[in-house]
Amino acid sequence: MELLKKRILEEGVVVSDQVLKLDGLLNHQVDPELTMEMGREFARLFAGQGVTRVVTVESSGIAVAFATAYELKVPLVFARRKKTLLADPDALCERVPSFTKGIVTDIMISRQYISPDDKILFIDDIIANGDAARGLIKIINRSGAELVGLGVVVEKCFEAGARTIREQGVRLESLVKIKSLADGRIEFEE
């Protein structure tokens, strides 16, 4: 998506060789027109696959996952970050380390909103080491639903997440691939 690359170059802030701040587009502020465009692109990439639900993790994935679900005319389910220690027998949970926060969080989806009949399209904002994505993929697998694929807005190719998830046999499509953030420069992979 050329428009997305342009906006990333204009508004992205390289924090370090590993981290790109995208608060203006993804992680704090959302541009509705650009986000709907992303949703259309994911809907186009995964058209004809019989997707029944779009799934994401709160909170930064929600806007683009909503746009995708709107285009595909299916519900959006977001995994919640669990804040209670009370066991919920109806919930599928996984513990995932957070790349940016340096903490571990538990994510959960109620069995009410994911079933073995579902064909799931998983949408996320950024993939780095892939821990968050692997956690949600485990939840989807344990639910018995079929994972049609994973769509991410930004793939950081210099970190292992996307590669290892593709090696698991999951179809992973990204709208933009970043090859390097070295020397304060954003370099895209063509």
Stretch of 42-50, 69-77, 128-136, 140-148 lying at the interface with ligand 5GP (CB under 6 A): 128-136
Q: How far is the CB of 48 from ligand 5GP (least distance, A)?
A: 27
Q: How far is the CB of 40 from ligand 5GP (least distance, A)?
A: 21
Tokens of 113: 């909103």
Would you count residue 175 as binding ligand 5GP (CB under 6 A)?
no
Would you count residue 21 as binding ligand 5GP (CB under 6 A)?
yes
User: Considering all CA atoms of the chain, what is the largest pairwise distance in Å, rounded to the nearest integer?
Assistant: 49
Q: Give kind and range of the element (H or E) at residue 4.
A: helix 2-11
Would you count residue 79 as binding ligand 5GP (CB under 6 A)?
no
Distance of CA 144 to CAs 8, 39, 108, 119, 138, Å?
37, 26, 15, 10, 10
Residue type, 59: S
Would you count residue 126 as binding ligand 5GP (CB under 6 A)?
yes
State which of positions 142-161 bind ligand 5GP (CB under 6 A): 161
Task: Tell me the HSE value of 9 on the side-chain side, using a 13 A CA sphere.
Answer: 9
Rule CB under 6 A: which residues touch ligand 5GP? 19-22, 27, 60, 99-100, 124-133, 161
